[in-house]
Chain A
């Protein structure tokens, strides 16, 4: 059993997740949205590791590794899209992408 109570680990994970969520919602720059997504994925990893260590199972770390690969793929695609966006619009403002609004 872990020396740190699981509730506190989950509180930390929720705070980090909310910080990342606010970043995704509030920022206009697409690069900051990507970074906030990283913070959110990291918070989910904290929750998984904390739960895994509370129940003394290695499954939490397996899930963390899968989250890690997801983050790597997401960053690759996201940064490539950002490069395209910078090339076409000369800006990273997410509001410029609202052309499908109708």
Chain B
């Protein structure tokens, strides 16, 4: 229900957008559009691999690659600041927090144990890292091509939105939203501290305390 309502909405927006932009969009497929479709395909493939994965860490790798592909899409849309934020904050901080929690607390344990071990061991060993690294290398080649190609650069610079505009808007009309976001991060920090705390945090469990500190640090990291 939700999705169908949303897609109906999206098609309405599409129609208005098409009317708006029909005179401006070049009809033929240029290299910029082709690169966008390529990165979008990679993002969709990586996202599908995320939700169909058996092993948690491999799914996380595909999630990182999916975010990188979306970052390339952002760059091609003319939002390099958002692309940088996507790589630094999303793929760099939030996903590292995921990996940290999984490795530290054995969250991926049960899925790894239940994963099918039937296929040949060496083959699976190669295919574990091959898929994500292949997609990442393709994205890197595409990004280098985009930076190197003067035609693409010329097309990009005509419709770029700089970080300066974003900053002026963020600390002007959206100042209240920034303050509320800071409250949200503080709430996340406190909730993470509270929930990740072991139940018996008291004097009769001295061994827990060392690990306890690590947990608190881990849960407070993204803010």
Query: Which residues on A are within 8 Å of B, measured CB to CB?
Result: 1-23, 26-27, 29, 31-32, 34-36, 38-39, 42, 45-46, 49-54, 56-62, 64-66, 68-77, 79-84, 86-87, 91-93
CB contacts (< 8 Å) of B93 on chain A: these are 72
> How many A-B Cβ pairs are below 8 Å?
234
CB contact between B105 and one of A19, A64, A86 (< 8 Å): that residue: A86
Query: Which residues on B are within 8 Å of A, measured CB to CB?
Result: 2-3, 6-7, 10, 13-14, 17-18, 20-21, 24-26, 30, 32-33, 36-37, 40, 43-44, 47-48, 50-51, 53, 56, 59-60, 63, 66-67, 70, 73-74, 76-79, 81-82, 85-86, 89-90, 93-94, 97-98, 101-102, 105-108, 110-111, 155, 159, 161, 165-166, 168-170, 174, 177, 181, 184-185, 187-189, 191-196, 198-199, 215, 218-223
Roughly how many angstroms separate A5 CA and B7 CA in the complex, as a whole number? 17
Does A81 contact B44, Cβ atoms closer than 8 Å? no
Most buried by A among B67, B70, B86: B70
In the complex, how many angstroms separate the beta carbon of A3 from the nearest chain B beta carbon?
5
Roughly how many angstroms separate A56 CA and B44 CA in the complex, as a whole number? 26
Does A62 contact B169, Cβ atoms closer than 8 Å? yes
CB contacts (< 8 Å) of A71 on chain B: these are 90, 94
Does B223 contact A19, Cβ atoms closer than 8 Å? no
What are 14 A-B pairs with beta-carbon distances under 8 A? A1-B25, A3-B155, A4-B33, A4-B77, A10-B17, A11-B10, A19-B50, A31-B56, A39-B47, A62-B174, A65-B170, A71-B90, A79-B219, A87-B199
